[in-house]
Amino acid sequence: MSALTEALQKVMAVEGARAAALIDIATGMVVRAVGEAEAGTDFPAAAACLADEARLAAALGLEQAGGGLDEITLITANRLHISRVLDSSPGEGCLLFVDLDRSRVNIALASLRIGQLAPAVLG
């Protein structure tokens, strides 16, 4: 098992985690993924959209306005998606994407724990 897969498996230990992936911001491509995506989810298309969001933040100057972009969080009735920016320069770097079951997770604690685990993904 590669070091990247092992790091993503550690992220999967976060309470409620369903899937985790490393996404290249420049291309929107999934570098590596673990876990199970929800049935009917177009994971490659979702990854490309997340990368677009990170690039949009850079294009709008949001990174300079309040410091660097750390995280993109999407909350629905049943899901929590946390995308943590790793090693970022405007429009480049990677995202650590984690899909969580909202009924099984504390949003703030999940964000904190994923932030703690994120550096090891690129380690």
Q: Which residues share a beta bridge with 97?
A: 21, 83
pTM recorded for the entire structure = 0.88
What does the pLDDT read at residue 66? 56
Q: What per-residue confidence (pLDDT) applies to 38?
A: 75
Domain that holds residue 35: 3-122
Q: What is the mean pLDDT of residues 73-100?
A: 86
**Domain count across the chain:** 1
Give the CATH number for residue 115. Answer: 3.30.450.30
Check pLDDT > 80 for residue 14.
Answer: yes
Give SS3 for 21.
strand
pLDDT at residue 65 in the model: 53
**Which amino acid would we find at residue 97?**
F
Q: Which residues pair with 22 in a beta bridge?
A: 32, 96
For 64-79, how does the pLDDT look when each residue is reduced to its tens digit (9 = 90+)? 655 677 888 999 999 9
The whole-number pLDDT of residue 1 equals 73
Tokens encoding 65: 């306005």
90 has a pLDDT exceeding 70? no
Q: Write down the residue that tokens 């690129």 correspond to.
A: 122
**Bigger pLDDT: 62 vs 41:** 41
